[in-house]
Structures are given as C-alpha cells and as structure tokens.
Structure 1
Amino acid sequence: MAVAKWNGVVLAESDAVKEIEGNLYFPPDSVNMEYLKETDTHSTCPWKGLATYFDIAVNGEINTDAAWHYPDPKPAAKEIAGYIAFWKGVEVTP
C-alpha cells in the first residue's frame, strides 16, 4: 500500500498507484482533497502535457505547490489523467 504523508497527516493511500519517472501517482479517489487547494501554478511536460499544482495545508502550515496532476494529459500519459503526485518534503512510501 503506497502512502503519502506530510506534517503527520496521511494525504493519500492506495494499492493502485502508477509510477512514472520515479513519481508515484495516486488515484483521485484515494487522495484526501480536504488538504489540497489548486493553485495557478502550471508546468508543461513534452509528453505528458500541462500539469496543475496544489498547495497542501495541514495543521496551519502550507506546503506550496507540493502536489500536481495532469487533468487532461496527452495521449501518451492518459493512464494518469487526474492522478495526483507529491514532492517538496511529502513522504511517499511505496
């Protein structure tokens, strides 16, 4: 069971993660969205497409742009559409 934790709180937990380029992407229904807030930050991957980022807010602390997803990925990455990945100090264990 893969788990994503930050600041003592489980952000996501799933047996159905997808690993791409060393990042674990969690299915949308496995993520505790009450801790995530979409931001205006975006980045572009040549083969995955446009990524949108989330701030993570836990116990009064904010981890800026510490999660991302591809809401409408390019065809090569369609398997991770809507799946969410974490970084910036979020502990992700497979």
Structure 2
Amino acid sequence: MKMPDDKIRVIVAKMLAEQQRLQHDSVDAIVLKTVGSVLASFGIEDDDRKELRADFQHLRRWRTTLAQAQSYTLKIVITIIATGLMGAVWLGVKVLLGK
C-alpha cells in the first residue's frame, strides 16, 4: 500500500511546522531566562520592572529638560552679547553725534 505523494507532503509540512513552532517557543524561553538572569545580576528583579520603567522615564524627562535648558541658555547668551554690542554701538554713535 503506497501513500500518495500529496499526502506525504502534507504530513511532512505539518511535522516541520510543529517542529519549528516548538523550536521557536524554546528559543523564546531561553531568551527570557537569559535576560532575566542578566537583569538579576545587575540587582533588578522581576518585581522591579514597573519601578525600573518609571526610573527610565524620569531619566528621559530629565535629559530632555536639560537639553532644552542648554538651548535656552545659548539663546540667552547670544541675546546678551548682541544687546551689549548694540548698546556699545549706540553709545559710540551718541558720543560721535554729541561732539
């Protein structure tokens, strides 16, 4: 009794798909375990994830705030220098016109 080639292909395809799914699940489990152990080696436990996320969000807000402050500081310094130069030119013009 010989099986048709189509049936054999279907059975092989199903077996390969199941094997790939099992392998994918296995890889996912290994990756999760590895990441968990690396985080644990840094002192971060699974229960600390929410706090860690909040800490990273706080650091990001702090970083963006500092970047904005640096930008504003640069603009203020340029404005002060330009105002000082304009004031010096104005005083020079007043002195020249006053004589």
Compute the TM-score of the two structures, normalised by the length of structure 1: 0.16
Structure with the largest fraction of strand: 1
Higher radius of gyration, 1 or 2: 2
Compute the TM-score of the two structures, normalised by the length of structure 2: 0.15
Structure with the largest fraction of helix: 2
